Structure 1
Amino acid sequence: MRFAALADIHGNALALEAVLADLERQAITDVVNLGDVLSGPLDPHTVAERLIPLGWPTVRGNHDRYLLEQNPSQMGPTDAVTHKALAPAHFDWLRTLPFSLVPFEGVFACHATPLTDERYWMERVEPDGMIRQATLAELHAELDGFSSEARLLLCGHTHIPRLVRLSSGALLVNPGSVGCPAYDDVVPVPHVMQTGTPNASYAILQKTNGVWDVTFRSVPYDHDGAAAQARGYNRESWAKGLESGWL
């Protein structure tokens, strides 16, 4: 079995096209999408038109949910821009997305954790805003009340490519973000998540003789063009992160 996992496209059509081209070069035909697909002050309409016909198994991210549940007048600036750009058919597609799914036997996919689409699984934010890797105990705490025989667990949400092995031997993989390499947030306290590269990220997963092999891909693309799109919406923090991977 061989497939790709990607997450957090965030309306970045230029990054998505680069990843699609790389998938073709890698001869990957099966892809799992881990959510937060459209929300971004970039080109969400083009992302929707390009991606929906591909029919990839896709889970619903927290921003996918916000686009459906929140009143546009109460949305944050990124979701508000996205909501205005989308067509009714795009919202219909978002409504079909499940919270989690099992795309292949022994593989579980969610956006953030098996229990919520808003909490970090593989990272923790300290009270002073510093980011650290979650401990093994903290990783397992996110599985409380969740039962699965999966040996490969996939998540996104934090945009940081990472792989850990749990006590059970199962692998937990975050493929990183296709379209947003750095962002800031105020929950639980003000903090910054940043990869330090403007490249689009995804992962290739291959099972051979019962063992999963994971390859992280870092794909260059026209990130300056994406940054210009963000500036067109007066989103300088997005533009800075897209240009460099740093905030």
Structure 2
Amino acid sequence: MIFAAIADVHGNHAALEAVLADIEKLGITDIVNLGDCFSGPLEAGRTARLLIDRGIPTVRGNHDRALIEEQPDEMGSWEKTIYPQLSPGDLEWLKALPFDMVFKDVAYCCHGSPAGDLDYWLERILPEGVLHLRARAEIEALARSIDQPIMLCGHTHIARTVQLSDGRLIVNPGSVGCPGWKDDEPVYHQVDVGHGLAAYAVLEDTAHGWQVTHRNIRYDAAPMAALARENGMDRVGNAIESGWLD
């Protein structure tokens, strides 16, 4: 069995198109999406057509939840920018997304962690605002009730594979469309992925067990970076172009 995992597209349809083309080139037909599909200063409507029309199994991310739980005049800047691009059908699709799911009986899928879509499963924030790999015991505590050999999460945009003491794997495929972000809670912290390539992961069941390949796909990011800047988010534009906010 082989399948692809994508996450955190954030409305970057150009990056998503490149990733989908690469997945097709590899001959992979099964894809799972870990959420945060549309929010950001880019092209939510065009991204919706790529994801929804293909019927890609998807879990709901925190930004997806904001689009359906908050009133338009109360939304944050990442939602206000693109909310008008989404049709009633797109919003109904978001409402129907589950918090988590099991994909093909082999992979548990969520956006943040099993405890919440805002949680960082594989990282913790140090007091100085640095995201650091969690202790294995902390990571495993959140996996105790999960039976699948593979667990998938997104949210941090940091591509990472963690092997648990029982051999199971937790995989964050990285971000398809937004390789940099910041947050002020609980303390200021930011992620600079360090490249502007579109990230995703390929998972394959081999004779030796599950194998993970993290792939980084080059695409023409300049138009998306320019659009982010036109919509008043210069640092997001920088990240899309280079992987660095500054």
TM-score by length of 1: 0.96
Shift in Å, 1:209: 3.0
The amino acid of 2:201's aligned partner reads A
Shift in Å, 1:159: 0.3
Structure 2: gaps of 5 or more residues: none
Q: Percent identity?
A: 48
**Cα RMSD after superposing both structures:** 1.1
The amino acid of 1:3's aligned partner reads F
1:59 and 1:88 mapped to 2: Cα distance?
A: 19
The amino acid of 1:134's aligned partner reads R
Q: Deviations over 1:84-135 (max 9, x none)?
A: 2211111011011101111112211111101200011111111111221111
2:142 and 2:51 mapped to 1: Cα distance?
A: 30
Q: 3-state DSSP class of the match of 1:157?
A: coil
- Mapping of residues 80-229 of structure 1, within 5 Å: 80-143=80-143, 147-209=145-207, 211-229=209-227
2:195 and 2:101 mapped to 1: Cα distance?
A: 30
1:190 and 1:172 mapped to 2: Cα distance?
A: 26
1:77 and 1:51 mapped to 2: Cα distance?
A: 22
The amino acid of 2:60's aligned partner reads R
Runs of 4+ that moved beyond 4 A: none
2:90 and 2:34 mapped to 1: Cα distance?
A: 17
Q: 3-state DSSP class of the match of 2:81?
A: helix
The amino acid of 1:244's aligned partner reads S
Q: Which moved more, 1:196-205 or 1:233-242?
A: 233-242
What residue number does 2:15 align with?
Answer: 15
Shift in Å, 1:15: 0.4
Q: 3-state DSSP class of the match of 1:172?
A: strand
The amino acid of 2:236's aligned partner reads W
The count of residues paired between Structure 1 and Structure 2 equals 245
Structure 1: gaps of 5 or more residues: none
Q: Say if 2:81 is the partner of 1:67.
A: no
Q: Deviations over 1:205-230 (max 9, x none)?
A: 00023610110110011111110110
Shift in Å, 1:231: 1.1
Shift in Å, 1:142: 2.9
